[in-house]
Amino acid sequence: MSGTLHVKGLTIGEGTPKICVPMVGTTERQLEEEAQHLCSLHFDMVEWRVDFFGESIDLEHIITMLKKIRRILEDRPILFTFRTKKEGGEKEISSSQYFFMYQEVVKSRLVEFIDLELFQNGEGMKETIDLAHQYGVLVVLSNHDFEKTPSKEEIISRLRQAQELGGDIPKVAVMPNDPSDVLRLLDATYEMKRDYADRPIITMSMGGEGTVSRLAGEIFGSAITFGAASKTSAPGQLNVSELRQVLSLIHKNI
């Protein structure tokens, strides 16, 4: 059975999947408005998708914005994510820029989590993971396929690879082309949790057909799900309020 993680009052990997809400503003004003709006919602953690930010390559602007987000959201855990274009993000940067940015964000002590892409090229992966752990920052080690759903064996292999590399929360998101792809993702999730995971994992099948995977984590083994406050950051995200209602209903009846 997979272990749990404890962050700012959250127990990740036990009970109802924790709800993470993405912030996708492109300007400082938009992000501040998003953060203020989030204060009125019932969610567990926030993901800042910095690749949407107009100044996303400027590290000084990133740190300044993080300070503002932290001030508004106070004790809510923050997941810092720069999603590259090859994995469905908004921008592309060099490998050296990528790891340098993450290392400086870790050193700022402004976030509880960072999301690193499992297949990011370069030699900075181990150094960045080790630095994050040195500063008490948890690492989501992720892989996204926006075209297809790999085999069950490949999904499990990627999750296990993320675990072996030191990711605190392995994550895989895939795109279904038919309902059987969603079943394969759920089957892989359950097998990973049952047979291999020693920590929480995140999986999801994207798009409309994959919606059930965002709701059934407590049954199959995905510890965090993503819900939208306004604009979505990936296909198939549900409104955070509706998501909370469904997750609570499932939990109540298990």
Known binding residues are 47-49, 83, 214, 233, 237
For the chain, the residue count is: 254
Residues in the annotated binding site for 3-dehydroquinate = 47-49, 83, 214, 233, 237
- Close Cβ partners of 145 (under 8 Å, ≥ 6 residues apart): 172, 173, 174, 175
CA dihedral 18, 23, 29, 34 (to 10 degrees): -40
Q: In what order do the strands lie in the sheet with 238-239?
A: 202-205, 169-174, 138-145, 113-117, 78-81, 45-49, 18-23, 224-228, 238-239
Number of neighbouring beta carbons within 10 Å of residue 194: 12
How far apart, in whole angstroms, are the C-alpha atoms of residue 238 and residue 219? 18
Q: Which residues are catalytic?
A: 144, 171
DSSP state of 237: P
Which residue spans within the chain are E strands per DSSP? 5-7, 10-12, 18-23, 45-49, 78-81, 113-117, 138-145, 169-174, 202-205, 224-228, 238-239
Structure tokens at 119: 């297949």
Classified as helix, coil or strand, 138 is strand
How far apart, in whole angstroms, are the C-alpha atoms of residue 137 and residue 140? 10
